[in-house]
């Protein structure tokens, strides 16, 4: 298991990015959270297996249909355990 922080940059607010990320996380078994940042980016902290995280990160680079992802910054964190995946408002 591994935990990462993702900063997703681009047109990622107001395009259902958080809701879709939660759906993808729930389907794939990724645990953690997602929230909007004041600078119009999105932050995700995610825990899963290496393989599952890579698939999730690949999805994050595309996002939902109305999103335009310019960059995804990935930072490895100390392992964190979460119960499910939630949207922080």
The pTM score is: 0.97
Single out the catalytic residue among 5, 18, 83, 86: 18
The average pLDDT across 33-49 equals 98
Q: Give catalytic status of residue 68 as yes or no.
A: no
The average pLDDT across 45-54 equals 98
Name the CATH topology of 2-78: Alpha-Beta Plaits (3.30.70)
- 10 Å CB burial of residue 65 (0-12, 13-18, 19+) is exposed
- Tell me how far apart the alpha carbons of residues 61 and 68 are, in angstroms, rounded to a whole number: 9
The token duo for 53 is: 């995280």
Single out the catalytic residue among 36, 58, 68, 86: 36
Mean predicted lDDT score pLDDT of the chain: 98
Share of the chain above pLDDT 70, in %: 100
CA 46 to chain centroid = 7
Residue 29: the pLDDT is 98
Whether 44 contacts 32, CB under 8 Å: yes
Residue 15: the pLDDT is 98
Residue 87: the pLDDT is 98
Q: Give catalytic status of residue 36 as yes or no.
A: yes
Could you tell me which residues come within 8 angstroms of residue 65 by beta carbon, excluding any fewer than 6 positions away?
none
């Amino acid at each position: 298991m591994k935990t990462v922080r993702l900063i997703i940059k681009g047109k990622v607010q107001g395009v259902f990015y958080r809701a879709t990320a939660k759906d993808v996380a729930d389907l794939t078994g990724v645990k953690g959270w997602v929230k909007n940042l004041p600078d119009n980016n999105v932050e995700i902290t995610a825990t899963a297996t290496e393989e599952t995280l890579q698939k999730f990160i690949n999805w994050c680079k595309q996002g939902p249909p109305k999103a335009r992802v310019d960059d995804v910054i990935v930072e490895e964190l100390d392992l964190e355990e979460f119960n499910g995946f939630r949207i922080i408002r």
